[in-house]
Amino acid sequence: MKKILFITVRDPFSGRFSGDVIRANKYINFLSKRNKICVVSLGKNNKTKSKGKLFHKNFEKQNFFLNLIYLIKFFLQLKPLHFSFFYSREMEKYIHKNFDKFDIIFFQSIRSFQYFSDKINRKIILDMGDLYSKNYYQTYQELFFFHPLKIVYFFESFLIKKYERFCLLKANKTLLFSKKEIAYLKKISPNKLFQINFGIDSIRKKYKFDIKNYKIIFVGNIKYAPNRRACIDFIKNIFPKIREQYPEIEFHIFGEIYLLDKVFFMNKRNVKIFGKVKKLDPYLSNVICGLANLDISTGVQTKLLTYMSYGIPSICSKKVFLNFDKIKSIKLDYYNNKDEFIDLILKLKNNKNYSNNISSKSLKIVELFKWTNVLKTFNKVFK
């Protein structure tokens, strides 16, 4: 039995529909069966809970003024700026005071790795997931020339890339989703990189082709800029052309969303916002397809796994497709431009054989991503 300090910047027990929260919760529950585990996280308030071998210490997030102070401090220290929003002096003190009580220190994401110190002489495991630097650089490239945040994203991508290299050198083992990104990083850290998939709990075929199906769905955190951008682009450039042929078709969005965005989207014809829902099942009748139409994408888009776990045909951009190793092996379709995007939607709307074939392929792919299989790989990292 090992003693593990699990550090994450989001409360893994919040129930938030977010990939890093879901992943952390699965890892913690798995590890606590055979190990003593102390979870340190940020959340809405200070709280301490204990249950069996699991201890949870939650630290309240800093207020706006402290965030501003830390933002300036991080800028002067040339640290990634967005890390300042996930920093807590109290949490840092707790970690540095107690790390020597543990055998393994597990950092979930490079945002958590900011609590690392050279004084921590324990086995270090980092769950990096995706390369944030690529995400920020893609955002910089996509923003128009005079956008006020363009230079910020460029500067941030540079700082994050530098920090990612630091993390790779300090961690004993680093976990990533994409084989493509592992190949890219092997020159820096050849023997310490491990590929691990995101997981899904169960497979339930909810899709049923019907020429009368009228829903196109998007699942994801709309507070996340690439998801927000994908929804706006679809509503502005694709959806009107679909509705010219099928006025009854609706666009349904599921996930956390800012109030102003919710008002903006709901004012658009046939666009419905459902926010964060605990279960998608009740909303999945009469679905044509699920979208992963991101122009800014690194690693594996977990929304694709969600669609596939229900057998729902998915449409993704080429950028999303190229990051998803398992999709490439099955050769699912993707689009290169807006005309191909529209054609794929109409094909899934009207062609029964094509739609059912995509659904069957999706159910086949997603078998590889069951949490039971993912956690077997995860367990090997701790041996």
User: Across the strands, what pairs with 51?
Assistant: 54
Domain co-membership, 250 together with 350: yes
Residue 375 lies in a domain: no
User: Distance (Å, rounded) from C-alpha 98 to C-alpha 91?
Assistant: 11
CATH number, domain of 172, equals: 3.40.50.2000
Domain co-membership, 156 together with 243: no
Structural domain of 322: 215-369
Helix (H) or strand (E) holding 7: strand 3-7
Domain co-membership, 83 together with 133: yes
CA 276 from centre of chain: 15
Domain co-membership, 10 together with 130: yes
Domain co-membership, 161 together with 249: no
Domain co-membership, 110 together with 177: yes
User: Across the strands, what pairs with 187?
Assistant: none
Residue-wise pLDDT tens for the chain (383 aa)?
899 999 999 999 987 767 788 899 999 999 999 999 999 999 888 888 888 889 999 999 988 888 899 999 999 999 999 999 999 999 999 999 999 999 999 999 999 999 999 999 999 999 998 888 988 888 888 888 888 889 999 999 999 999 999 999 999 999 998 888 888 888 887 789 998 888 888 899 999 999 999 999 999 889 888 899 999 999 999 999 999 999 999 999 998 899 988 988 888 999 999 988 878 899 999 999 999 999 877 666 788 889 999 999 999 998 888 877 666 556 677 899 999 999 999 999 999 999 999 999 889 888 888 999 899 989 989 87
Q: Which of 196, 224, 252 is the last residue of a domain?
A: 196
User: Distance (Å, rounded) from C-alpha 192 to C-alpha 174?
Assistant: 6
* Count of domains forming the chain: 2
User: Distance (Å, rounded) from C-alpha 107 to C-alpha 128?
Assistant: 8
Residue 378 lies in a domain: no
CA angle centred on 132, ends 309 and 3, rounded to 5°: 75
Edge-to-edge strand ranges of the sheet holding 3-7: 47-51, 54-60, 36-43, 3-7, 104-108, 123-129, 173-176, 193-195
User: Distance (Å, rounded) from C-alpha 226 to C-alpha 249?
Assistant: 24
Domain co-membership, 79 together with 9: yes
198 within 8 A of 374, measured Cβ to Cβ: yes
Domain co-membership, 229 together with 309: yes
Domain co-membership, 330 together with 258: yes
Residue 374 lies in a domain: no
Torsion angle of the four alpha carbons 185, 298, 382, 35, in this order, in degrees rounded to the nearest 10: 150
154 within 8 A of 140, measured Cβ to Cβ: yes
Q: Which of 168, 196, 224 is the last residue of a domain?
A: 196
Task: Kindly state the tokens that stand for 332.
Answer: 């699912």
